[in-house]
Structure 1
Amino acid sequence: MTDTEPGRDWTDPTCPVARTIDLVGDRWSLLIVRDAMDGPASFTEFHRRLGIARNILSDRLRRLVDHGILSTTPSGRRHVYKLTGAGRDLFTAIVALRQWGERHAFADGEPRSRLVDTEGRPVAELRPHGQDGTPLTTDATHVERVV
């Protein structure tokens, strides 16, 4: 994937957030990536877990493969999809979305799944830090725009 992909109409060609949303920002793509983080899965497994329409699932899997986020390998009569390096790099983004949801999308005491490490401990809250280790917020950062 390059910034000069033929025929690609980027929402905002110089913004990494906009470009990422163009590639994986719809509901189903992110849920497919989330589920692929549990290990390789077939079309049938994704369909069963997500309850997504077959034509939409087929389209999203094709797009994720085309953009290098998933790879596919034959396994008998089926294809198995697994995350590529680029797909695994979305882990931090998925965790950030999960943690935002834990703080803002559930009522107090409402049941929800938990993300834990291999020892069963909750994953620490993600927060950006500057080069010197200082916590960063929107008040302490700005975007340098391309001119």
Structure 2
Amino acid sequence: MKYSTHNSRSIYLRFDKSVMHGQIPTYRFVIPAAVYDPFLPENKGFCNQETPRYFDSGVQPQGCLPAGMLDIGRTKSGSPPVYLSGVHFYQSPPQIYQNFTGFQHPDNSDASYLDIEPYTGVIVSAFAASQINIGMS
């Protein structure tokens, strides 16, 4: 587990699969969807009762954002409605990205990952991307 200043919270990675980079075998680690699931008890501490409701309770529990989204504005002066999500709302429910024209179902190409050589622990490849969203009422 690591505290991510970019996400304003702790995150962890989980083994996903083995990947070859030329002749170099690596293990791919990704951020599991559970990290951003507001319905899980371990994530309730990242909710805030002042969070505005944008979606129904089946998608957005009271005081939380929908899965795949983090409130990064409340850590800033004035608490602006600024939310971090995966690219194309990766790991968010369909009700989120279906509200935007041109958005397709996100796929694994939008996932952040680390490819680590298993014997030395050297990072051979990495990809991290996120999307900044502004809440509007």
TM-score, normalisation: structure 1: 0.28
Higher Rg: 1
Q: Larger % of helix: which?
A: 1
**Larger relative contact order, structure 1 or 2 (CA cutoff 8 Å, min sep 6):** 2
Q: Larger % of strand: which?
A: 2
